[in-house]
Chain A
Amino acid sequence: MNNFKCDNCGRFVDDVPCPFCQSTKVRPLRPGEVPGAEERAVIVAPKPAPKPPAAEKATEPPPPPPPPPRAEAPQPESPPRAEAPRPEPPRRPAPPPPPAQAARKQVVGLDEFNALLKAGFQAVVICGQSRSGKSEIATGFTRANTVFRGRSQVGMAGMQSGSLHVAGGTTPGHVWFEVANTRRKRVFLDPSGEFFRNLSPTYRQQWGLGDITEEYFDFVRSAIARLAGVILVVDLTSTVDAFNDAPWRNQEIDLDFDLAAIRWMRHDKDARIEGLSVERNIAARVPSLRKLDVPVLVLFSKADLLPDEYSYSNPLDFARNRLPHLHASLLTHARRFRFEFAHTMLGDPDHARRETRPCGVLLSMEWLLSDPFRWLPSLPTRWLGGGQR
């Protein structure tokens, strides 16, 4: 009998961390929650590439990781929370691994977004896990711009889950976009977390999914062709194991892959090594490619829920010490990058409400979008003190 529920993957479990997703967001069952009522996740047995899994077969979840060796592991003051209530449609706790065809579905909203690109706009792509706070980052910036700078931006309702963006994340299969700066023609592209989950190496490995194909990148291909910046959103409240010395390793690995894929798509447009899967093409080609020529902003979201020792520290030092894999990834793939904490919501995760004065998004987004010196060639961040110690 399962007495706990994992808020990260939605499964009923009997141990902490979640044996399925390694998350520590595991809580006791609330009154009325019945373990048997959930739709059981079906785990597809891992199969060798290239074919996606044809049959669904349940597998045993991986064994739980060893107990945390370090006392200074992240201890959020409050339990992790969802970014915002999502009225329509209700998110399933742990969606089954999508078949390969899912990636080929038409991406809702992409045509409109492409029309904007054709009008001369450049895209700022927001990457991150589901429920990491991607969508709220974009609207948080718009809000902060209005509150602090007195620059109002027309909101783009209707592109999301049937409600205002601030009320929920991007609907699966949709991309949401919002004009970030009209004068400089910058537009945020906020794809549904589902797209990134489909690309996630940890997820695919966990579920034994086959190789991804180029169609998996359709949601972001046009944006990368007219790229102005990349935002990587890291949810520090979502850990693999709160006591692990690398509690955010899954996110680091996923974002590393996202960054490499963006670099590959931006600079290696048509060259492909015949007979190699997309992942291996990326792995083989990326080291010889130029680094990303656009700034990359890494935002640690939900900073209000983090211990002060985290959010008060220098974000670069924090990344160096706590997310070395992600830091190394940025040194590898990006010329110019920056880490920053941010929060745009307040309160208990289940009852979170918008922060009217978001914190950490305004200056960092201005660094990304409207740096007055952006027209000057810049030294790599590595040379300016952003490299390894």
Chain B
Amino acid sequence: MSGPRRPDDRWVWPAVAAATLVAAIVGVIVYVTSTRNRSFAALGETPREQLAAVDVQPVAIAAVEQEWVADGFEPQYLVAPVGPQPCPAAVDLAPPNEQAALRQAFAIVQGGGDSAEELAVVTDAQPSNLLVALIHATALVRAERFIEAERVITQAFDRTTTDETIIAAARVRGSKVDLDDYGFSTVIHLHHALGYARLQSAADPPWKSLKNVIGSVEQLSRQRLLGGATRGGGAASRLPIAAPGCPPGGDSLSSYDLFNNLIVGYIRARGKYSDTDRNRQREFFREPRTYPRPLRLLLLAQHPREKASDWKNEAELWALSNAERVVDIRHPDDARLAFNIIQLIDWWSAPERCPNDVCTEELRTQLRAERDLLLERALRRRNVTEEQRAVFAAGAVRMLAQSSLDRAKLESDLQQLRGWLPAQKAATLDDLMASGRARMAMAKWLVDPAEDAEEPYGKLGRRAERWREAAVRDFAAAAATWAGARPPTERRQVLVAIRQLLGSGDAPPVVTALEQQFSSTQRLRIRMTGWKAWWALVAFAAALALWLVLMWIIAQVREALSLRESFYNVELEHLRGRPRDPGGR
């Protein structure tokens, strides 16, 4: 502004700025003090310690995390691949009349080149030789010539009854047949290869071949698990069925591969599979048990519903039944099977297929625990083929987001899994791991925040805010549950702190229920004192009042001082600093 200025302008405007600053500082102090005194940090030491250790159920967090994996993480049913080629040692175990053809077949396999074409010559020469058929079919499957492989195997089975004899012998309770037996191994591998070829070609329903062997394998598996007819290695959950002539190894076909492909076969036959009442009765019948496992409870609950709905989802029910049989023995130490069973559990326990009167809260809790165990096995085992890794890893990330597993314990396994994911999905897995760590630290951070402590959810980046809201909601529910057993004064303090923590977000039902224990006036006071905006308003009012008082003082001092000033003289002084008109004063 040009022209003469009031002398007091020199100090008035700096004073106004200083008053504004002082008022703002006072406002901030009022706000911080008021809100801090009503937060969890203001509770006594004992309540804080208890609240920091309270069991927080990650309900809201799980919902948020599931949003992260909603797209691009859809799991798929994984098919167990065909077993390895038999080993040359099998030649000596074969009947003498088959050994020459076998030697020839092994020589072709070991020689490389276009082995399938050369093996076809050997197979044609001795079509009833099951081991030659297995070598030939395995070579064809690996070359993705599934229809030819299927024809080779079916032709072999048509020429002999050896397979039926072996299977019948294995099904007998107390059978001396073992999984590693030459003949049994050959038949199992052949059936598995046939099922696999049919799953891939989708020419014929796969379950016929798969079902054929499963009964015998189930029986033999049980024997081995019970420590009965075991040979070689001790009892193991994943029972390898070594290829004929081969020692049991990591890449052996296992009993779980057979169950896995049977389950996948049923799932692929969705809406097309139908069986007889007799078979249904035999399959779905279960002996009563004092403490049935949750999968059995689910099966028993869904069976009458399916019957009533005219077996609308029969294939899936057969799949569930087989999964239950596997889990009933023990949780499979096989990533693929566990992964597929989790999908089955999720499908059958979805709210649209399992209303609350069927899937009670108790059953759901048990199923969640079962699911978590299966997922942990899958994540630890990770025995999937290289082509299946990306699908497996993406699906496992989604399952992890839906589980309540302690991610810290699976840190190294998840790091392995991370390498199988593309960058964007790997980032989501990173966030899930960070979320797991933050979840562990959140309660302590909320109740007893250290001065310089970093926010536990700081590493979640753009997802941090939504995650924080969810975490706060989960903690609020846990704190309200804890406060329910505390004296009324403490309960009120906790409710105020919860309301402050929740802000404008909806309160969990348990918090609302706890508030209902107070009168409406008390509830209003709890809401108001726990509402940060209220304290912001109070702080603003205090700052404004102080500012007004300071401004008033400044204005009055200015007015009093200005009465002692002559503005005329001030303006005259100003004019004297300028050229004046002639004759001017």
Contacts and interface: CB of A to CB of B under 8 A. Distances in A.
Q: Do A and B bind each other?
A: yes
Interface of A: 144, 147-150, 303-304, 311-316, 336, 338, 340-343, 346-347, 355-357, 359-360, 362-364, 366-367, 373, 376-379, 381, 384-386
A218 B240 CA distance: 116
Nearest to A318: B566
Contact of B560 (A304, A311, A315, A384): A384
Given A376-B551, A386-B563, A363 B571 contact: yes
B575 to A, nearest CB: 6
Interface of B: 1-4, 6, 548, 551-552, 554-556, 558-560, 562-572, 575, 578, 580-581, 583-585
Contacts of A363: 4, 6, 567, 570-571
B564 A347 contact: no
A376 B555 contact: yes
B563 A356 contact: no
A301 B580 CA distance: 20
B40 to A, nearest CB: 42
B14 to A, nearest CB: 14
Given A359-B572, A362-B571, A347 B3 contact: no
B581 A355 contact: yes
Given A341-B566, A342-B568, A355-B581, A362 B559 contact: no
A340 B566 contact: yes
A379 B556 contact: yes
Contacts of B567: 340, 360, 362-364, 367
Nearest to B574: A148
B558 to A, nearest CB: 7
Contacts of A311: 568-569
A367 B562 contact: yes
Contacts of B556: 378-379, 384
Contact of B569 (A312, A346, A357): A312
B523 to A, nearest CB: 40
Contacts of B552: 376-377
Nearest to A366: B6
B551 A359 contact: no
A319 to B, nearest CB: 11
6 contacts: A148-B2, A316-B563, A359-B571, A364-B567, A367-B562, A376-B551
B65 to A, nearest CB: 54
A357 B4 CA distance: 11
A346 B581 contact: yes
Given A360-B572, A373-B554, 20 more contacts: A148-B4, A150-B2, A311-B569, A313-B566, A314-B565, A316-B563, A341-B568, A346-B581, A357-B580, A357-B581, A359-B568, A360-B571, A376-B551, A377-B552, A378-B556, A378-B559, A379-B559, A384-B556, A384-B560, A385-B563
A149 B559 contact: no
B564 A316 contact: yes
B251 to A, nearest CB: 87
Contacts of A386: 563
B8 to A, nearest CB: 11
Contacts of B555: 373, 376, 378
- Shortest 4 CB-CB distances between A and B: which pairs? A148-B3, A373-B555, A360-B568, A363-B567
Contacts of B569: 311-312
B555 to A, nearest CB: 4
Nearest to A304: B585
Contact of B585 (A316, A342, A346, A385): A346
B560 A385 contact: yes
A356 B581 contact: yes
B444 to A, nearest CB: 50
A314 B566 contact: yes
A366 B568 CA distance: 13
Given A149-B1, A346-B583, A363-B6, A385 B564 contact: yes
A147 B563 contact: no
A359 B570 CA distance: 9
B557 to A, nearest CB: 9
A360 B583 CA distance: 18
